[in-house]
Amino acid sequence: MTASFTILAAITVAGMAAAMGLRNAVHCVLALTVGFAGIAALYLQLGAQFVGFTQVLVYVGAVAILAVFAIMMTQSRPSATPAPRAPLWAAGGAVAAAVFAVLAWAIHSNALSVQALPPQPEAAPSATVQQIGDALMHRFVLPLEIVGLLLTAALIGAVVIAMGRREEMK
């Protein structure tokens, strides 16, 4: 429980809470990038540099930008009348709070917290790019291929779905 962890955790939680709570959607996405960056920093602190940079590339660089584009394309015109709140809307907040309470209780009361952790080096275990590449090319080559296929399919699918029908394009 170091100071750096506390600071990074505070930044991340604040960014995410803002992303979920702000009224303006564009602001939300901006706060989201802060949150994603905070998570990336946490990865770095945990010694997973590769994952951290991947996080920055994919989430901060791609998903957030995609979200910005989507918001810009859908909110060119503000909706005329806000729809009435659905019944039981407030129950959602209660469910989320209960989930957190239950998870926290679980973490707190679990055997894991009672038992001593296995002895571990103070320094992070090494996970160099070379090791990760080796693992990807040998042990995890089949999942890698499948994920490649999945990404290709998702790319084509996203283009097809977003393109719409031909007459609308004219």
Site residues (CB under 8 A) for another protein, limited to 97-156: 97-100, 102-113, 117-118, 120, 124-125, 127, 131-132, 135-136, 140, 143, 147, 150-151, 153-155
36 contacts 60 by C-beta, under 8 angstroms: yes
Beta carbons within 10 angstroms of residue 46's beta carbon: 14
Tell whether residue 39 is a contact of another protein (CB under 8 A): yes
Question: How far is it, in rounded angstroms, from Cα 138 to Cα 135?
Answer: 5
Q: Which of residues 44-83 bind another protein (CB under 8 A)?
A: 46-48, 50-51, 54-55, 58-59, 62-63, 66-67, 69-71, 73-75, 79, 82-83
Which of the residues 3 through 22 are near another protein (CB under 8 A)?
5, 9, 12-13, 16-17, 19-21
**Alpha-carbon gap, residue 127 to 142, rounded angstroms:** 21
Q: Which is nearer to another protein, 59 or 170 (CB)?
A: 59
Query: Where do we find the tokens 């040998």?
Result: 138
Question: For residues 161 and 170, which CB has a smaller minimum distance to another protein in the complex?
Answer: 161
**Least Å distance between CB 167 and another protein?**
12
Within a 13 Å sphere around the CA of 84, how many CA atoms are in the beta-carbon half? 3
Q: How far apart (Å, rounded) are the C-alpha atoms in residues 10 and 38?
A: 9
* Least distance to another protein, CB of residue 91, Å: 6
